[in-house]
Amino acid sequence: ATDVRPGCKTQRIAPTLRQVADLVCAPTKKKRVFQNMYCWTQELLPPVWAYANCDISPSEMADYQMFTKEEALKFLESRLGVKNVQKRRISNPQTLLDDITTSIQAHIPFNNMSLMSIAPEKRRKPTLEEIKESVVSRTGGLCYVLNVALFYILKALGYDVVLVLSNVNFPRRTHILVYARNVNKEGDVFLIDSGFGYPIFRAISLDFEKESPEFTDSFLEYKYMKKDKKILRLHRNGDLGQGSAARPVYIDGWRVAYVADCYGTANIEDFYLDYDEVYTFQIPMTKPFSTSFQTNFCLVQFPEKRAVIISNLKLMLENESGNLETMLIEGGDEGILSAVKRYFPVIPEEMARQAVAQWRKLYLSKPE
């Protein structure tokens, strides 16, 4: 049925089974009323905006502010070195998005140190307060830290943004990213992703018919594709993920890195159930929500747009030609800690030490 509530511009349909499970399992959602909860765009409007076009918030969390405008401005300019944020938000909002996502990748590492430093049975998703602290301190984290904080920073600056789930080589959706609309003109849409562990030094316009242009950032060649009402990210030259994918999918020589929804939400609560599972250690690691970040040691950053990567016992540095040079880290655990201290000095030493210890236990317990 068409929703006739004042201010609602979209079509409302029955919730999916996932939404019902989300409602029942999350205690903070038990008081919601179905008629006020989900407002979805299917065929009436481009599907990217799901319930972002509804003026009635699905819950109080849709109005949550992690950053005030003043905090966002100070963080971007003082901590990340982004210039003239307030002026450019009006005069050139797209290039500001480019600079923000690039600066986050340059100054804040994508890593799983806070997760790996905790005993497996005690692991959990970070709170919103912990996400803010991890980003402001530049300790960083995984996509749920970096892209959720990015969403709230952009929201504080006045961008029209939603959070979006995607599937990364798993049956369930384990990667979160951001869409922004009405950036340069009414109705345009951009994908912003500062928390994938791969270089993405721009906001990606989704206003293409089938495929985006091909991009080369740092060591990687990539592009995006629309297929079956999804947004696909594709990798080719420089791709590091061929071996990590259980069942890699290729399209004309390009590996599918993730498949993103074409809709999103401004309500962070809608991701709680998924990320409670993602952050919970699960054995066997072939379970739907299991990810390699529960067992592998990983840090990635792009200072001056050049990759610096530590992956278990390997150190990878991007050379002047844009290629990765890989070397084995010598010296055992102390050698790894020394490399972390040298290349990722923002990581607290004790956190790194605990992460190495937990990783070593899991590494030694892996079957041959």
Give which of 210, 162, 230 is closest to 10, Cα–Cα.
162
Tell me the two tokens of residue 63: 């109005």
Task: Please report the pLDDT score of residue 59 as a whole number.
Answer: 55
Is the CB of residue 65 less than 8 Å from the CB of residue 152? yes
Instruction: Give CATH for domain 69-108+124-272.
Output: 3.30.2140.20
Is the CB of residue 214 less than 8 Å from the CB of residue 237? no
Task: Please report the pLDDT score of residue 267 as a whole number.
Answer: 94
Residue type, 325: E
State phi, psi for 211 to the nearest 5 degrees: -135, 145
Spatial separation of the C-alpha atoms in residues 157 and 152, rounded to whole Å: 9
Spatial separation of the C-alpha atoms in residues 265 and 277, rounded to whole Å: 19
Give which of 174, 195, 154, 196 is closest to 67, Cα–Cα.
154
Task: Please report the pLDDT score of residue 287 as a whole number.
Answer: 52
Beta strand 175-181 with 189-192 is: antiparallel
Is the CB of residue 7 less than 8 Å from the CB of residue 56? yes
Q: Is the dihedral of CA 168, 171, 172, 178 positive or negative?
A: positive
**pLDDT tens series, the chain, 368 aa:** 333 333 333 334 455 544 544 444 444 333 333 323 333 333 233 344 333 333 333 456 778 999 999 999 999 999 999 999 999 999 999 999 999 999 999 999 999 999 999 999 999 999 999 999 999 999 999 999 999 999 999 999 999 999 999 998 655 678 999 999 999 999 999 999 999 999 999 999 999 999 999 999 999 999 999 999 999 999 999 999 865 556 789 999 999 999 999 999 999 999 999 899 889 876 545 554 456 888 889 999 999 999 999 999 999 999 999 999 999 999 999 999 999 999 999 999 999 999 999 999 887 665 44
Spatial separation of the C-alpha atoms in residues 309 and 110, rounded to whole Å: 10
Q: For residue 337, what are the contacts with CB-CB under 8 A and spacing of at least 6?
A: 349, 352, 353, 356
What is the pTM (predicted TM-score) of this model? 0.83
Task: Please report the pLDDT score of residue 281 as a whole number.
Answer: 77
| Region(s) of the chain under CATH 3.30.2140.20 | 69-108+124-272
Number of neighbours of residue 147 by Cβ within 10 angstroms: 25
